[in-house]
Structure 1
Amino acid sequence: MGEKHQKSQRQQPGKRPRKAFREHLFHSLPNYTGPYSVGIMEIEVPVREPRTFSRIKRNHTHALRMDTVLFSIYYPCDPSSYAQSRGNRPSKATWLPRPRTLTSKGYAKFFSMPHLPVTAYIAATTMFTKLPAFRNAKLTSDRAGAASCSSSDVYSQDTLTGSGDKPKFPVIFFSHGLGGSRTCYSTVCGELASNGFVVVAVEHRDGSGARSYVNIPPSGKLADGLKIDNTDSRRSYKVDYIFPLDNALDTSPNNARGVDTELRHAQIEMRMSEIGEAYYVLELLNNGQGDLVYKNNLRKKGNAGSSSKGLEGINWSDWDGRLLLWNTTAMGHSFGGATTAEIVRQNDRFPYIGQGILLDAWGQATPKVGEVTHQSLRKPLLAINSEAFMHWPENFKRIYDIGEEARNGGALCWMLTIKGSTHLSQTDFAILYPRWMSLFMKTMVNPKRAMALTVNSSLEFLSRVLPPNFTVGNPWLDEGILQTKVLITDELPREHQPDGKWMASRLRIPNELRIRTVNWVRRKPKESVATDIKGKPLIGLMSFPLGGEVWMHLSPDEENRQYPIRSSQEV
């Protein structure tokens, strides 16, 4: 993989909405780099069967209850049609979910901190951050990269359409990690959408997010058997993060009690049910029943967490027959990665899921075969780890074993680590707060480059595992990341391995003060560093040369070999 190879495949990025003045003053998200413009819509609808999960209760009420399903859809759009804000400008969704002040309090509770300083800091940094996407824009009728296809290319009506017809788009379901939401992975989701995917980012209400608001359906029917009548003033309720009883730090590698499997497995079961409900909504859109989705949508003016734009202005006929709802992709970060691993196992329940992408998966929370289902993983898998999680031996081995499970089932599998990255490097937090990530988590890779490696390796994976009719003529950048040679040593790299108390949360930077001082004084990019889509150098705390930015642990191109062990030096 090399810079010359990158530049040869760059295409003109799609049109982006202009940043407002406040976005220039405060933290903002980068524009997406794929050839499509990106649209976004937010949908919350009642589930078909309200229900509870497990016997776990808080305040004498079922803690895991599914009444509605909430998600954002990132999709390739026609930027000439969109919901408008003041001055006829394109309306954009806020990065911090509404209601923003109350959501900030939810984050304070999640971090076990006083809400005033947390809310004040968020207000001073990301309260006005918007997603660089057009709200409620028209689904595009064009196919980027079509010019690169031969005129003799023929597409099946069951897959992509012919060049003179409207294209169909493959679908990705995205599952967030602990403390996450439908927006805090917007860079990954939006980048994939800008490359021709419809990405459904589900906001889980299983007590794994910092805070989410559930609007009560007009019927008043709730999962625990209660019914709210029309005279009741309660029209919504909030779901905050659920801490395991007497084991609040079950996520910590140094926690002697380990993971609260009762809670986490129940949460995974609810998450899978939410994704099933989201898939049903996509079926309605694809079957020409978008008006029914609009009618039942609860994210509309006057309801909790809603924009005044709701789903106004969308021509639902544009979505009729436009989605490829077989061989879809499950993708998730951290606890969402654990959720994804279980989804790709359950082929009978999710026959429409063709492959999975695990982003720094929380392996310790991932059920083993037989704990939730007796089915083994037989679908293609890509695991992209952070270096910080690579140094967590139990977690690394669990993800490695999942990869071997897929390989033993006859599926293609890749497992790699992005050098210099930490757990949040695949989230928007790394983009919005790069200095904090560098100072406190010791992140060494440039955050934008880490995001590019995550997205581009995912696109390379999908180009290999999706049927040819999905990928012919695609505009995706191919850096050859998945062609990286498997690490031949039986011992994992340990130069940045932290002390035991910092395991999984940060890296160790030898000679950190000298490196920071030199980088500050030099402030001049080296010729060998990676570049963004415009050729601008991406400089982080440390630079990794092109072709040497990842470690590969598993690859279909290599023979099975011994599992790489941890350093013999105890931390």
Structure 2
Amino acid sequence: MPPPTHDPSNPSSSNYSQLPPPTHLTVDPSSSNYSQSSLPGTSPRPSLSPSEPTSFPRHSTSSSYSQPSQPPQSQSQPQTQPPTFNDTARGNNQNVRTSTIRTSTATATGAPTTRPSHQSPPHRAAGPPSTLREKIFHALPPHTGPLNVGFMEIELPVRQPRTFSHIKRNGEYALKLDTVLFAVYYPCEGPEETPKEKAMFARDRIRRCRGSGNWEGFDGTGDRQQEGEGEATGQSRGKGKKQKKNGGLTRPPWLPRPRLSTCKGYANFANMPNAPVATYFALTSMFTKLPAWRNAKLSDGPPLAGPEEMGEEALNRGFSDTSELTLVWGPRPAPDAEELRRRRAKYPVIMFSHGLGGSRTVHSTICGELASYGFVVVAIEHRDGSGARTYVNKEGSAPDLSSQNLDRRSNTEREKEEGSIFTTKRRRKENAKRKPYYMVDYLFPLDNAQDTRPHNPAGVDTELRSAQIEMRCAEIQEAFHVLNMINDGQGEEVARRNLRKKGNKGSSSKGLIGINWDDWAGRLYLEDVTMMGHSFGGVTAAQVLRLREDFTWISQGILLDAWGPAMPEDSSEEHKIQKPILALGSEAFMHWKDNFERVEKLCLEAQDAGVPSWMTTIRGSVHLAAADFAVLYPNWMSLLMKSLVNPKRAIQLHVESALEFFRMTLPEQHHSRFSRAWPFEEGLLTTTAGAANEVSFDFRPNEKWVAARLKIPHEFKLRVRSWAKRRIQPGPDVPRDGRGKPLAGLVDWGAGNEIWVHISPDKEEVPNVSEEAE
């Protein structure tokens, strides 16, 4: 498929071709029930011309509806390939996103496709090997993408230090911007495998193939079989030589350093005593590592290979011409220097903003997953008082800081030498100024500490939250400036000014040692960047989409369970969202009426501007489903928050929804090199069957627990039944992870029924799920 054409002379035109068959939500006014049905006589259509026009009507909302008497049943559903949105005009200061929608061919033979059952991704990178640490402590799952994941931390002084708002704590401004801190998750080259690691990798591939039932490649041909033979015969590079474990690469910790202090920050955020929280973290996840390599080499990208190495898989994946080049992941002969420069991949960029109590690693599973599929994800750690605890290092080298008479003694040493006067407010302020860093804890609103609760009579502290969003936007701009420096070949300057290095607070001793900055020059797509965020970070992402003149390089946004009431009110026409948006929420937040209406309004703004938007809900999920806590503590999520979906499956649904969104919104040249190795499409954003989109209130909680958790009727019976099902062979509709293991939850709805689509470009009516069930 040729790349899209651009017409800079016509920046305001919109030209859309038709989407897959539209579906209608029919409403019975007498019963206030709704159901979905396909239009009579509709069927999967062949690909349409990009020039064929269509329009996007505003989605009207219907009246309230009653609770369905029975939960929807899983059923087989037809599916067409999702449309693709590509820019036809992109100016330097583009205010309105103009796109072309195209549909891809159904299959090589032209036959209609059906929605696939749950399948594992076709290829998966080796990733860090499992160790005793993963068996003792709570562990994060390995990434399922075809690329290994690298990780680095950068903290740089901002170009213009400043404060935001007049809000003060302890006599000082609470919102100060001195430095910007972020973690970068990126595709990397894995470490050179030792013979022992090759054996572990081979056993892992055997387990995956046994679980998925796909043994193709183990029949005596193919890279996997060849690697297995090399391991079995001992003919591996480096045999007989002493090698460094994992090639000298290390894995970063999940809890940011200093880990014990971070635990205390979470205790303060949850209003709990320090000792039990720190003890529990120490016994469970204080020593958990990310499945990523610190400061690893940036991947050159997947090589291109001929169709003989793919066989029938090319046809099964929907390629009409077997001579078309396809992606193959595996060892290949090393190209010469000129060929390597020509074939190095460029990566699309995602800016990620965390929510309240978050950090640069609290969404590492989603960030790492996206990186394993070919994205560079920049996870910003905000210093606006929205995180549990973070440290800001002061600018200056170690000699400079020593010359400033900074006090590096511990608190205990100072207490012994200076006596009780140390505890006075004046002495504390003096010592704080002399430290080479300062700490930022979660900032509770005055006289309204629980402004996040749905039924809080005082509502949201708009003054504080608006100031925090303003500071967050400034941090995003500073992080993007650092990315520009790296992409322009100034990586060495970034490393020289980096404050996250040995000796500084919260830093790894490795800093940025080992990174070859020449590999990063010119390797990032810094136009058409995606803004992504969870909860309060979702509100931040929406604000970034609104500020088009300040963020001309942002082209689309993904909101993960956005906290709608914290969104600043702005009815001005110039600040309406005019870029594609995907709002992916949890069922717990769907039952929060005010929040649902705020997020719905954002999506309708985009629809009114003539750009596509989606609003979906993951069934049986809770607010933390997009965070690592759900994966690390699944039992607590199930018992306390009544989560019904398997937490790993919830992560899959987030990632696969985002990948489908990228297929339809990003320019094709940004992802065409990677998207053929993405998971098999499940049509999560193109649901067309009624049962899949019939919203249920079976698990709606009482008003007291709205947004916090779900309600499970006959809970004990359901848990016993779920336990019994996991003891038998799971059916084909049970989703699986990258290793082929089933991901069964308390309730399994089956393929095509796990997501409710409330708003999408191919719908003309949207049920108002914000109304209470009768």
Alignment partner of 1:204 is 2:409: no
Conserved? CA contact 2:693–2:755, under 8 Å: no
Among 697, 703, 709, the alignment partner of 1:506 is 709
Q: Closer, same or farther in 2 for the Cα pair 1:146/1:10, shift >3 Å?
A: farther
Among 531, 546, 558, the alignment partner of 1:330 is 531
Identity %: 52
Match of 1:231 in 2: 405
Q: Closer, same or farther in 2 for the Cα pair 1:435/1:525, shift >3 Å?
A: farther
Q: Closer, same or farther in 2 for the Cα pair 1:565/1:65, shift >3 Å?
A: closer
Match of 1:277 in 2: 478
Among 535, 551, 561, the alignment partner of 2:756 is 551
Alignment partner of 1:402 is 2:602: yes
Give 1:40's aligned amino acid: F
1:55-114 deviations in Å (ceiling 9; x for gaps): 1100010000010000000000011379x9978553011000000000100000000110
Match of 1:129 in 2: 288
Q: Mean alpha-carbon deviation: is it higher for 485-494 or for 197-206?
A: 485-494
1:464-543 to structure 2, matched below 5 A, reads: 464-473=664-673, 474=675, 475-477=677-679, 478-485=681-688, 492-522=695-725, 523-527=727-731, 528-543=733-748
Among 41, 50, 53, the alignment partner of 2:152 is 41
Alignment partner of 1:250 is 2:442: no
SS at match of 1:127: coil
Q: CA RMSD in A?
A: 2.6
1:195-235 deviations in Å (ceiling 9; x for gaps): 00000000000000000011001189xxxxxx996222210
Alignment partner of 1:98 is 2:301: no
Q: Closer, same or farther in 2 for the Cα pair 1:23/1:485, shift >3 Å?
A: same
Match of 1:224 in 2: none
TM-score, scaled relative to structure 1: 0.92
Give 1:540's aligned amino acid: G
Among 342, 345, 360, the alignment partner of 1:167 is 345
Give 1:404's aligned amino acid: L
Give 1:440's aligned amino acid: L
Q: Closer, same or farther in 2 for the Cα pair 1:289/1:562, shift >3 Å?
A: same
Deviation at residue 487 of structure 1 after TM alignment: 7.1
Conserved? CA contact 1:81–1:138, under 8 Å: no
Select the structure of larger CA radius of gyration. 2
Match of 1:423 in 2: 623
Residues in 1 aligned to 2:246 and 2:482: alpha-carbon distance in whole angstroms: 33
Residues in 1 aligned to 2:276 and 2:736: alpha-carbon distance in whole angstroms: 37
Q: Closer, same or farther in 2 for the Cα pair 1:178/1:563, shift >3 Å?
A: same
Q: Closer, same or farther in 2 for the Cα pair 1:565/1:146, shift >3 Å?
A: farther
Q: Mean alpha-carbon deviation: is it higher for 405-414 or for 18-27?
A: 18-27
SS at match of 1:482: coil
Q: Closer, same or farther in 2 for the Cα pair 1:138/1:489, shift >3 Å?
A: closer
Conserved? CA contact 1:491–1:567, under 8 Å: no
Q: Closer, same or farther in 2 for the Cα pair 1:164/1:507, shift >3 Å?
A: same
Residues in 1 aligned to 2:729 and 2:263: alpha-carbon distance in whole angstroms: 37
Residues in 1 aligned to 2:554 and 2:253: alpha-carbon distance in whole angstroms: 30
Residues in 1 aligned to 2:585 and 2:301: alpha-carbon distance in whole angstroms: 35
Match of 1:436 in 2: 636
Conserved? CA contact 2:191–2:246, under 8 Å: no
Q: Closer, same or farther in 2 for the Cα pair 1:401/1:229, shift >3 Å?
A: farther
Conserved? CA contact 1:487–1:553, under 8 Å: no
Higher relative contact order (CA 8 A, sep 6+): 2
SS at match of 2:157: strand
Residues in 2 aligned to 1:328 and 1:81: alpha-carbon distance in whole angstroms: 32
Match of 1:223 in 2: none
Conserved? CA contact 2:452–2:460, under 8 Å: yes
Alignment partner of 1:14 is 2:125: yes
Residues in 1 aligned to 2:463 and 2:729: alpha-carbon distance in whole angstroms: 50
- Unpaired segments of 5 or more residues in structure 1? 154-160, 221-226
Q: Closer, same or farther in 2 for the Cα pair 1:37/1:59, shift >3 Å?
A: same
Conserved? CA contact 1:490–1:565, under 8 Å: no
Give 2:158's aligned amino acid: V
Q: Closer, same or farther in 2 for the Cα pair 1:242/1:48, shift >3 Å?
A: same
Residues in 2 aligned to 1:488 and 1:348: alpha-carbon distance in whole angstroms: 42
Residues in 2 aligned to 1:170 and 1:565: alpha-carbon distance in whole angstroms: 35
SS at match of 2:474: helix
Residues in 1 aligned to 2:439 and 2:469: alpha-carbon distance in whole angstroms: 20
SS at match of 2:267: helix
Give 2:445's aligned amino acid: P
Deviation at residue 533 of structure 1 after TM alignment: 2.8
1:312-391 to structure 2, matched below 5 A, reads: 312-370=513-571, 374-391=574-591
Q: Closer, same or farther in 2 for the Cα pair 1:291/1:490, shift >3 Å?
A: closer
SS at match of 1:208: coil
Among 169, 173, 189, the alignment partner of 1:62 is 173
SS at match of 1:445: coil
Residues in 1 aligned to 2:514 and 2:460: alpha-carbon distance in whole angstroms: 46
1:276-312 deviations in Å (ceiling 9; x for gaps): 0000000010000000000000011110000111000
Residues in 2 aligned to 1:514 and 1:562: alpha-carbon distance in whole angstroms: 32
Deviation at residue 370 of structure 1 after TM alignment: 4.3
Q: Closer, same or farther in 2 for the Cα pair 1:187/1:568, shift >3 Å?
A: closer
Number of aligned positions between the proteins = 554
Give 2:739's aligned amino acid: K
Residues in 2 aligned to 1:133 and 1:63: alpha-carbon distance in whole angstroms: 34
Residues in 1 aligned to 2:745 and 2:639: alpha-carbon distance in whole angstroms: 12
1:206-221 to structure 2, matched below 5 A, reads: 206-218=384-396
Deviation at residue 536 of structure 1 after TM alignment: 2.2
Conserved? CA contact 1:363–1:396, under 8 Å: yes
Deviation at residue 368 of structure 1 after TM alignment: 2.4
SS at match of 1:481: coil
Deviation at residue 15 of structure 1 after TM alignment: 2.3
Deviation at residue 142 of structure 1 after TM alignment: 2.4
Deviation at residue 6 of structure 1 after TM alignment: 5.1
Q: Mean alpha-carbon deviation: is it higher for 228-237 or for 379-388?
A: 228-237
Deviation at residue 485 of structure 1 after TM alignment: 3.4
SS at match of 1:448: helix
1:298-330 deviations in Å (ceiling 9; x for gaps): 011110000111000111000000000000000
Q: Closer, same or farther in 2 for the Cα pair 1:451/1:144, shift >3 Å?
A: farther
Q: Mean alpha-carbon deviation: is it higher for 207-216 or for 542-551?
A: 542-551
Among 193, 198, 216, the alignment partner of 2:371 is 193
Residues in 2 aligned to 1:301 and 1:162: alpha-carbon distance in whole angstroms: 34
Alignment partner of 1:75 is 2:186: yes
Residues in 1 aligned to 2:612 and 2:152: alpha-carbon distance in whole angstroms: 33
Give 1:498's aligned amino acid: P
Q: Closer, same or farther in 2 for the Cα pair 1:152/1:285, shift >3 Å?
A: farther
Conserved? CA contact 1:215–1:236, under 8 Å: yes
Alignment partner of 1:25 is 2:136: yes
1:451-470 to structure 2, matched below 5 A, reads: 451-470=651-670
1:386-413 deviations in Å (ceiling 9; x for gaps): 0000000100111011100111111110
SS at match of 1:417: strand
Give 1:30's aligned amino acid: P
Conserved? CA contact 2:687–2:693, under 8 Å: no
Give 1:526's aligned amino acid: P
